[in-house]
Chains A and B, each alone.
Chain A
């Protein structure tokens, strides 16, 4: 761990661009097309076509978001995802050619925040990138508690009895969203809208996988959760403990 996850990473964002994006895709045409579209939308980007070069490029380029293809030469996209996640909480959006359950879930479990299935519409991709990068702005001075956890919203920090727990920004947002309204049961659709920023997103598996990842970090026993409680047939809510 080079730095506490959740803290703003990299040098201050160049004000002339909306953010820096690392594009990792083995298809050169697609990678180039992506950089064209991203530049049109005001993002700065760099492309990498090999999996084994992706982590080095990530360290030197320090992007605000990573677009990661899962099938890569040199090193598998899943491994790349795990390595980046081990170093940083930077948002990772997977590009996958397979909408199958297993591939998506494996990708999400290895640390990706979101995924886009090829062939995607450029506008949809850009909307998702914006939704992920936007999470970094507008900190509010607020401290919350959920169960025996203390949350410092402005400092993006979660601690149990003074011991900090490292969460990715997305997991942090998910926890804050539940903690702000402990009396409310959130459906998966509402969570998608409030945490991921989607209006009509189809896939609630995103929520399931991220709730599991969050539980594995904050629960005493992830098998019998007390912080993030499942309300059968409806969704999730903050635990009363």
Chain B
């Protein structure tokens, strides 16, 4: 149940992925966007609060004024009604007398009036018989307020929507306040309700103005914040990007690259430290290069100085060795020992010089397309005398087609020769298993040679140690075999030079297998080998 989620963002469409990549890579974009988001949030909250405050203030003020005006009108109306002689009994004309002056005043002062009643559940405005300002849609008085005045009640107010219909029949609606107050009509001794409707147009306009101003201010503020953040991050990010570019160039080997230092701020100090680091690195690399050059020179000199006398000794030894039949037995034996030890000394010297060349990084490849099948046959032919002397047979198992790799034929042959002679050495004369098999295989990406022997094998953990310098599987036995102890180390270095693999497998009593894998093209990265490391004839032990 692991790894069910797809790794990475391969499943996203291309533009989205590009945006995501930009987002991941650009500190500047992230800082600017998050700052803008945050300031938008803060500005929204502040703006909303401000608007609420202004609106509340405006409305409170307007409501106070409206109620005061309504009270004034009502009081004046009451006075007028009290002054009317008690004999007057025409309800309709009294209502008109009552309300007309108010309507007139309302028209000039900007409010509408409705006179409804008599109070009680049967005297709804909608039932008709009301006196009201012209053009006003009487349904602007909310039912809830009407119900409030079913009983006798003091002055009350509420918000409403005022609908008016002008002369052309166009209906407009606007927010407003409706204030209700009751008066007693002497004509029928009933209570009527006067509704004053005050439109809030002025306040609405003020609110719209305030809102527009606040919005403009908010947008400008956000743009300002974004711009400032962008500028500030740019000042920080630009030197960082420059440092990145310089670091990349340093890493690519252009050691003389430096950052430009201007000023004394943190970034300038960063640049100074960076430059110091680069200078130190450059100095140390120069030192190492110098050391390596000295080392190479030394190896070369030692090589020359040691080899010339060794050649003379070697030739003298040969002359003595050839003439040993003329000596007495002791001297003859001495000449023989001299000869064999000179051989050992020589191979050891050659191997040591080769290793120090690798250590100095002085080894270079001479690349060519080589066929590993040919290499295998050549090496097996060349090592046949040694194999015969050990009573071992070496066979090549190769496919019918060439197994090509771009490699240095001299080094590859040295590796394979080493593996084959090693296999012969470790098979020994008391072998039980069978012949040494040299397997060859290749495909479009890699070519491989594996050398399988059925000798004493390798103990667990030894497969990694066989490539160590002067490592010997069995110190007691080692001295009888010819190797210098450097052969596999050199082979490993040769293989690494090609970007290849050299690996060992072995099990006590079941023999060993060494596998060399080379990439088809020099420098290509190896991902697999055409041959298995563990031989196919081995059964895995049940663990």
Q: Is the CB of A118 within 8 A of B308?
A: yes
Q: Is the CB of B366 within 8 A of A119?
A: no
Q: Is the CB of A118 within 8 A of B310?
A: yes
Say yes or no for A101: interface residue by CB 8 A criterion. Answer: yes
Q: Separation in Å of the B491 CB from the closest CB of chain A?
A: 16
Q: How far is the CA of A12 from the CA of B438 in the complex (A)?
A: 52
Q: Is the CB of A101 within 8 A of B371?
A: no
Say yes or no for B304: interface residue by CB 8 A criterion. Answer: yes
Q: Is the CB of A120 within 8 A of B303?
A: no
Say yes or no for A205: interface residue by CB 8 A criterion. Answer: yes
Q: Is the CB of A119 within 8 A of B304?
A: no
Which of B54-62, B241-249, B313-321 forms part of the interface with chain A? Answer: B313-321
Which of A27-35, A55-63, A213-221 forms part of the interface with chain B? Answer: A27-35
Q: Is the CB of B311 within 8 A of A120?
A: yes
Q: A interface, how many residues as a size bin?
A: 20 to 34
Q: A123 and B409 in contact (CB under 8 A), knowing A98-B303, A118-B310, A233-B371?
A: no
Residues of B within 8 A of A187 (CB): 374
Residues of B within 8 A of A202 (CB): 410, 413
Within 8 A of A (CB), among B380-402: 382, 402
Within 8 A of B (CB), among A163-219: 187, 189, 200, 202-205
Residues of B within 8 A of A119 (CB): 307, 310-311, 314, 346, 349
Q: How far is the CA of A27 from the CA of B304 in the complex (A)?
A: 11
Q: A37 and B315 in contact (CB under 8 A), knowing A29-B309, A118-B308?
A: yes
Say yes or no for A40: interface residue by CB 8 A criterion. Answer: yes
Q: How far is the CA of A30 from the CA of B371 in the complex (A)?
A: 40
Say yes or no for B260: interface residue by CB 8 A criterion. Answer: no
Q: How far is the CA of A202 from the CA of B304 in the complex (A)?
A: 21
Contact of A27 among B308, B346, B366 (CB under 8 A): B308
Residues of B within 8 A of A118 (CB): 307-308, 310-311
Say yes or no for B144: interface residue by CB 8 A criterion. Answer: no
Say yes or no for B378: interface residue by CB 8 A criterion. Answer: yes
Q: Is the CB of A29 within 8 A of B366?
A: no
Residues of A within 8 A of B413 (CB): 202
Q: Is the CB of B364 within 8 A of A189?
A: no
Say yes or no for B325: interface residue by CB 8 A criterion. Answer: no
Q: Is the interface of B mostly helix, strand, loop or mixed?
A: helix
Say yes or no for A71: interface residue by CB 8 A criterion. Answer: yes
Q: How far is the CA of A71 from the CA of B310 in the complex (A)?
A: 16
Residues of B within 8 A of A101 (CB): 364, 366
Q: Is the CB of B312 within 8 A of A29?
A: yes
Closest to A27 in B: B308
Closest to B378 in A: A189
Q: Separation in Å of the A202 CB from the closest CB of chain B?
A: 7
Interface string of B361-381 (1 = CB under 8 A from A): 010101011110010001000
Residues of B in contact, count (CB < 8 Å): 32
Say yes or no for A74: interface residue by CB 8 A criterion. Answer: no
Say yes or no for B340: interface residue by CB 8 A criterion. Answer: no
- Interface Cβ pair total, 8 Å cutoff: 71
Contact of B409 among A102, A204, A232 (CB under 8 A): A204
Q: Is the CB of B314 within 8 A of A121?
A: yes
Say yes or no for A36: interface residue by CB 8 A criterion. Answer: yes
Interface string of B285-326 (1 = CB under 8 A from A): 000000000000000100110011111101110110000000
Interface string of B412-454 (1 = CB under 8 A from A): 0100000000000000000000000000000000000000000
Q: A97 and B410 in contact (CB under 8 A), knowing A37-B315, A119-B346?
A: no
Closest to B353 in A: A99
Residues of B within 8 A of A33 (CB): 311-312, 315-316
Residues of A within 8 A of B370 (CB): 233
Q: A97 and B315 in contact (CB under 8 A), knowing A189-B378, A202-B410?
A: no
Q: How far is the CA of A203 from the CA of B371 in the complex (A)?
A: 16
Q: How far is the CA of A233 from the CA of B402 in the complex (A)?
A: 10
Q: Separation in Å of the A37 CB from the closest CB of chain B?
A: 6
Q: Is the CB of A123 within 8 A of B303?
A: no
Q: Is the CB of A203 within 8 A of B410?
A: yes
Contact of B308 among A36, A97, A122 (CB under 8 A): A97
Q: A37 and B369 in contact (CB under 8 A), knowing A118-B308, A202-B410, A202-B413?
A: no
Residues of B within 8 A of A37 (CB): 315, 318-319
Q: Is the CB of B312 within 8 A of A27?
A: yes
Q: How far is the CA of A203 from the CA of B314 in the complex (A)?
A: 22
Say yes or no for B404: interface residue by CB 8 A criterion. Answer: yes
Within 8 A of A (CB), among B313-370: 314-316, 318-319, 346, 349, 357, 362, 364, 366, 368-370
Contact of B304 among A29, A40, A98, A205 (CB under 8 A): A98
**Which has the most chain A C-beta neighbours within 10 Å: B304, B310, B316, B371?**
B304
Residues of A within 8 A of B382 (CB): 200
Residues of A within 8 A of B315 (CB): 30, 33-34, 36-37, 122
Q: Is the CB of B314 within 8 A of A122?
A: yes
Q: Separation in Å of the B521 CB from the closest CB of chain A?
A: 13
**Which has the most chain A C-beta neighbours within 10 Å: B311, B314, B315, B316?**
B311
Closest to A125 in B: B315
Q: Separation in Å of the A33 CB from the closest CB of chain B?
A: 5
Residues of B within 8 A of A29 (CB): 309, 312
Q: Is the CB of A98 within 8 A of B300?
A: yes
Q: How far is the CA of A34 from the CA of B316 in the complex (A)?
A: 9
Q: How far is the CA of A203 from the CA of B410 in the complex (A)?
A: 7
Q: Is the CB of B307 within 8 A of A97?
A: yes
Within 8 A of B (CB), among A1-55: 27, 29-30, 33-34, 36-37, 40
Q: Separation in Å of the B407 CB from the closest CB of chain A?
A: 12
Q: Separation in Å of the A87 CB from the closest CB of chain B?
A: 28
Q: Separation in Å of the B484 CB from the closest CB of chain A?
A: 15
Residues of A within 8 A of B300 (CB): 98, 100
Residues of A within 8 A of B304 (CB): 71, 97-98
Closest to A233 in B: B369
Q: Separation in Å of the B166 CB from the closest CB of chain A?
A: 99
Q: Separation in Å of the A150 CB from the closest CB of chain B?
A: 32
Q: How far is the CA of A36 from the CA of B310 in the complex (A)?
A: 16
Residues of A within 8 A of B368 (CB): 233
Q: How far is the CA of A205 from the CA of B409 in the complex (A)?
A: 10
Closest to A31 in B: B312
Q: How far is the CA of A71 from the CA of B303 in the complex (A)?
A: 12
Residues of A within 8 A of B369 (CB): 232-233
Q: Is the CB of A122 within 8 A of B366?
A: no
Q: A30 and B308 in contact (CB under 8 A), knowing A97-B303, A98-B303, A119-B314?
A: yes
Residues of A within 8 A of B307 (CB): 97, 118-119
User: Given A36-B319, A119-B346, 8 other A-B contacts at CB below 8 A?
Assistant: A33-B311, A33-B312, A37-B319, A120-B311, A202-B410, A205-B366, A205-B410, A233-B371
CB<8 Å pairs between A and B, sample of 12? A29-B309, A37-B315, A40-B319, A71-B304, A97-B303, A100-B357, A118-B307, A120-B311, A120-B314, A122-B318, A203-B410, A205-B410
Question: Sorted from nearest, which 10 A-B pairs have the closest CB atoms?
Answer: A233-B369, A97-B304, A118-B307, A119-B311, A119-B310, A97-B307, A118-B311, A30-B312, A33-B315, A122-B318
